[in-house]
Amino acid sequence: MKAWLWHHLDTFFTTLARFARTPVATLFNVGVIGIALALPAGLYVALANLQGYARALASGPQLSVFLALDAGSTEAAQVEARLKQHPGVREVRYVSREQALKELKAGTGLADVVDSLAQNPLPDAFVVQPHEAAPQALETLRDEVSRWPRVSHVQLDAVWARRLEAGLKLARLAVWLLATLFAFALVAVTFNTIRLQILTRREEIEVAKLIGATDPFIRRPFLYFGALQGLAGGLAAWAIVWVGLLLLNGGLADLSQLYATRIELRHLSAEDSVSLLVFSAWLGWFGAWLSVNQHLAQIDPH
């Protein structure tokens, strides 16, 4: 056990020394891998942030029932009573036209524009929480309420969220396809790097085989090289995404002040960061394994 552990530690530090002897080539290889992994990782982070904001803005489906502009308080009370008695309605909240104007003024940063209006252009409205969230039930309730007297318009507020979720699913598929392509590129880079190393050290490998070295013993330093190179590329990708988000959040800080809301992009979680590093190391190891298995079999010391 101690001998096995010593061999692996020795191979590990020997591989690190090999990186140090060729800093320029190592830097370029790690940079290429880092950029290749940073593109799908950055898109993944962007989609995760967008999906989080979409869920926060649309926690559940609801209907906005707008009355006619000339509807009086008595007519509004009749519509409210009818909504509360409806079996498909769970909760009703009344929003007067004065309250709606105050919320518009406070939430949009358009106080000057609102104050300049000659009269309140907003109608009385009700925010309705339905019992069922099924699309068909929501659309049936919307169509029914829209035909009531003094009801001007009924807006199903969850439609945009479902459309956004459908778009996010398509974008996630595109991210996985892109990640697959760049993963193949990482394997190809490692494969070619290991091939060149095997060709350079061909005579050394032949001598090692002549004195009884096994294929796993010869293969080990190349596998370590590929895994460590892939791991370094994963770290580079993580750093690229982190710097990109840092710069973007700096620009979003000014935008947050203009819209009076906090907008901040979150970095990869701890689990996603570990997955990125493990995946990149495995891709490097896999590329090295493919290369060394193919080229090592072609070396015959006899």
Residues 171 and 274 in one domain: yes
Q: What is the mean pLDDT of the chain?
A: 79
Choose the final residue of a domain: 92, 126, 157.
157
The answer to whether position 92 is within a domain reads: yes
Which position has the higher pLDDT, 171 or 227? 227
Residues 166 and 224 in one domain: yes
Residues 14 and 148 in one domain: no
C-alpha 94/C-alpha 206 separation (Å) is 85
In contact, 186 and 40? CB cutoff 8 Å: no
**From residue 140, how far is each of 22, 134, 259 by CA, in Å?**
69, 10, 35
| Domain encompassing residue 196 | 2-57+162-296
Choose the final residue of a domain: 157, 177, 199.
157
Residues 46 and 172 in one domain: yes
Residues 231 and 287 in one domain: yes
Residues 45 and 176 in one domain: yes
C-alpha 291/C-alpha 222 separation (Å) is 9
Choose the final residue of a domain: 101, 126, 157.
157
The answer to whether position 301 is within a domain reads: no
Residues 169 and 282 in one domain: yes
Residues 43 and 186 in one domain: yes
C-alpha 45/C-alpha 255 separation (Å) is 20
Q: How confident is the model at residue 148 (pLDDT cuts 50, 70, 90)?
A: very high
The answer to whether position 211 is within a domain reads: yes
Q: How confident is the model at residue 6 (pLDDT cuts 50, 70, 90)?
A: confident
Which position has the higher pLDDT, 21 or 144? 144
CATH number at residue 140: 3.30.70.3040
The answer to whether position 302 is within a domain reads: no
Residues 252 and 190 in one domain: yes
Residues 292 and 231 in one domain: yes
The answer to whether position 252 is within a domain reads: yes
| pLDDT of 176 higher than 60 | yes
C-alpha 220/C-alpha 292 separation (Å) is 10
- What DSSP state is assigned to residue 87? T
C-alpha 4/C-alpha 217 separation (Å) is 11
C-alpha 125/C-alpha 64 separation (Å) is 7
Quote the pLDDT of residue 33.
86
Q: How many domains does the chain have?
A: 2
- Name the range with the highest mean pLDDT among 108-117, 124-133, 212-221, 254-263: 124-133
The answer to whether position 33 is within a domain reads: yes
Residues 83 and 137 in one domain: yes
Residues 38 and 97 in one domain: no
The answer to whether position 85 is within a domain reads: yes
Confidence (pTM): 0.63
| pLDDT tens digits for range 34-85 | 888 888 888 888 888 777 666 555 556 788 888 888 888 888 889 889 999 9
